[in-house]
C-alpha cells in the first residue's frame, strides 16, 4: 500500500515539476500546423536555422486545430495558423489579422483570401488516379462528369468525407451549379462507388486493383511511387477538359490577431512564399508551388498545362452547402 501511495505522490511531484518549467519566451514563434509534421517540419526547421527565430509547432488535424483556436480565442498562444485547406482558415477567420500588402502582393490573387486574412502557400490538384495495368489514359473520359456512365459501375473509389473531396464538390457547385452537381453525385452513386476514409486509402485501393479509378489529390501517388517504386500500378490523370475534376486546392497560412509576435510571424509567412520554401514544397512534398522560378518534381505538370476551371479558390471555404447536398443524397452520414 505504501508503494501505491508513494507512486501517487511521486506522480504528483513529477507533474508539478514538469508543469513548473513550462515558461517560454515571447520571442518564440508559435505555429499551429494542420499540415502534417512529415511534410512541413523540415522547412520550419530551415526557417529557424536561417533566421535564428525559435519556433514551436503544434501539429494536428486542420479542423481540430481550427476548433482549438476558436476555443482559445484571444488567449491563444498561437502566432501563426498553417492550414491544409481554405475551410480551416475560413473557420478561424474572425481570429486572423489582415496580412500586409507586401505579402499579399506576391501570391496570386486566386489563391488568397478576398479579405486578406490568409495567403496560399502551395497547391494540390484534384486528379483521377487510375490503375495502369487495366486502363490507359485514353480509356478515361474528358471530364469527371463522364464517370457517371454506367460503364464505370463497380470500378470507382472515392472518399466522400474527405476535406479535399468536399472542396472539389464545392468547386462543382460553383462551376456547374447546384442541380448539375447533385446529378453528378447521384450518377456516381448509381455506379456503386467504394467509399474510403481518405486519399491514401483510395490510391492504395486503385494500386491493388480493388477499384480501377479514384478521385484524389495528385501528390499521394507520388509518395507511393517514391516508397514502392515505379512499378506501383497507378498513375494520375488530369482531366482533358477544364472542369472541377482538376481544380487546384490550396494550403494556406494566416497570422493570429492576438499574436504578440507579429513581426516574426510575418517573416515566417514571407519565408514560406519565398523561393527556398517553394522549391521545398515542389521537390520534397510533390506539390504545386504558387510563385515562379521553381523547378518541379518529375512527373508533375506545370500549372499552365493543367486545364483548370475558372473559380475563386478562397470561396471554397463555404462547405456547409456541400455537406448538406451530400447528406441529402446520402453520400455521407
> Within positions 145 to 184, which residues make up the interface with other proteins, using CB under 8 A?
161, 163, 166
Q: Which residues pair with 258 in a beta bridge?
A: none
**The residue count for the chain:** 333
- Shortest Cβ distance from residue 216 to other proteins (Å)? 10
- Shortest Cβ distance from residue 8 to other proteins (Å)? 4
Show contacts with other proteins in window 89-118 (CB under 8 A): 90-91
Looking at 136, 208, 275, 284, which residue binds other proteins (CB under 8 A)? 208
Dihedral, 181, 184, 186, 187 alpha carbons, nearest 10: 170
Tell me how far apart the alpha carbons of residues 202 and 211 are, in angstroms, rounded to a whole number: 8
Show contacts with other proteins in window 218-247 (CB under 8 A): 220, 223-224, 226-229
Looking at 48, 143, 183, 210, which residue binds other proteins (CB under 8 A)? 210
Size of the site for other proteins (CB under 8 A): 75
Nearest CA to 246 out of 314, 310, 328, 156 is that of 310
Residues 6+ apart with CB under 8 A from 262: 79, 97, 255
User: Across 132-255, where does the E strand assignment appear?
Assistant: 156-158, 194-195, 213-217, 234-237, 248-255
Under rule CB under 8 A, residue 71 binds other proteins: yes
Looking at 46, 48, 51, 77, which residue binds other proteins (CB under 8 A)? 77
- Shortest Cβ distance from residue 19 to other proteins (Å)? 4
Looking at 43, 80, 87, 253, which residue binds other proteins (CB under 8 A)? 87
Looking at 46, 51, 61, 238, which residue binds other proteins (CB under 8 A)? 61
Looking at 46, 48, 60, 183, which residue binds other proteins (CB under 8 A)? 60
Residue with smaller CB distance to other proteins, 105 or 321:
321
- Shortest Cβ distance from residue 271 to other proteins (Å)? 19
Tell me how far apart the alpha carbons of residues 184 and 172 are, in angstroms, rounded to a whole number: 9
Residue with smaller CB distance to other proteins, 107 or 125:
125
Under rule CB under 8 A, residue 37 binds other proteins: yes
- Shortest Cβ distance from residue 328 to other proteins (Å)? 10
Tell me how far apart the alpha carbons of residues 158 and 126 are, in angstroms, rounded to a whole number: 12
Q: CA 249 → CA 22, 59, 107, 226, distances in Å?
A: 38, 20, 14, 22
CB atoms within 10 A of CB 314: 23
Contact 169, 226 (CB under 8 A): no
- Shortest Cβ distance from residue 32 to other proteins (Å)? 9
Please count the CA atoms within 13 angstroms of the CA of 275 that sit on its side-chain side.
Answer: 4
C-alpha cell at 30: 508559435
- Shortest Cβ distance from residue 87 to other proteins (Å)? 7
Under rule CB under 8 A, residue 72 binds other proteins: yes
Looking at 46, 48, 63, 187, which residue binds other proteins (CB under 8 A)? 63
Nearest CA to 203 out of 248, 158, 138 is that of 158
Show contacts with other proteins in window 257-296 (CB under 8 A): none
Show contacts with other proteins in window 7-36 (CB under 8 A): 7-8, 10-12, 14-16, 18-19, 22, 24, 30, 36
- Shortest Cβ distance from residue 190 to other proteins (Å)? 18
Q: For 46-70, give one letter per residue: b (16+ CB within 10 A) or e.
A: ebeeeeebebebebbebbebbebbe
Amino acid at each position: 500500500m505504501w508503494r501505491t501511495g508513494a507512486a501517487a505522490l511521486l506522480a504528483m511531484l513529477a507533474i508539478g515539476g514538469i508543469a513548473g518549467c513550462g515558461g517560454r519566451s515571447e520571442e518564440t514563434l508559435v505555429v499551429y500546423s494542420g499540415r502534417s509534421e512529415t511534410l512541413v517540419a523540415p522547412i520550419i526547421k530551415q526557417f529557424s536555422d536561417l533566421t535564428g527565430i525559435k519556433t514551436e509547432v503544434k501539429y494536428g488535424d486542420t479542423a481540430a486545430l481550427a476548433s482549438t483556436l476558436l476555443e482559445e480565442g484571444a488567449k491563444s498562444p498561437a502566432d501563426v495558423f498553417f492550414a491544409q485547406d481554405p475551410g480551416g482558415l475560413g473557420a478561424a477567420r474572425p481570429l486572423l489579422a489582415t496580412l500586409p500588402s507586401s505579402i499579399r502582393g506576391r501570391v496570386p490573387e486566386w489563391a488568397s483570401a478576398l479579405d486578406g486574412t490568409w495567403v496560399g502557400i502551395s497547391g494540390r490538384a484534384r486528379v483521377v488516379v487510375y490503375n495502369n495495368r487495366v486502363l490507359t489514359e485514353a480509356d478515361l473520359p474528358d471530364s469527371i462528369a463522364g464517370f457517371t456512365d454506367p460503364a464505370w459501375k463497380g470500378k470507382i473509389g472515392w472518399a466522400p468525407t474527405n476535406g479535399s473531396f468536399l472542396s472539389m464538390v464545392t468547386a462543382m457547385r460553383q462551376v456547374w451549379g447546384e442541380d448539375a452537381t447533385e446529378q453528378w453525385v447521384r450518377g456516381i452513386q448509381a455506379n456503386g462507388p467504394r467509399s474510403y476514409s481518405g486519399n491514401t486509402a483510395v490510391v492504395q485501393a486503385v494500386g491493388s486493383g480493388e477499384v480501377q479509378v479514384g478521385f484524389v489529390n495528385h501528390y499521394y501517388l507520388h509518395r507511393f511511387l517514391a516508397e514502392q517504386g515505379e512499378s506501383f500500378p497507378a498513375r494520375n490523370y488530369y482531366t482533358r477538359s477544364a472542369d472541377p475534376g482538376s481544380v487546384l486546392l490550396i494550403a494556406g497560412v494566416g497570422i493570429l490577431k492576438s499574436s504578440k509576435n507579429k513581426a516574426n510571424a510575418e517573416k515566417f509567412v514571407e519565408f514560406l512564399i519565398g523561393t527556398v520554401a517553394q522549391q521545398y514544397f515542389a521537390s520534397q512534398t510533390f506539390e504545386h508551388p504558387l510563385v515562379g522560378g521553381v523547378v518541379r518534381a518529375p512527373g508533375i505538370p506545370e500549372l499552365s498545362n493543367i486545364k483548370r476551371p475558372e473559380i475563386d479558390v478562397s470561396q471554397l471555404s463555404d462547405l456547409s452547402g456541400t455537406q448538406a447536398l451530400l447528406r441529402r443524397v446520402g453520400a455521407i452520414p
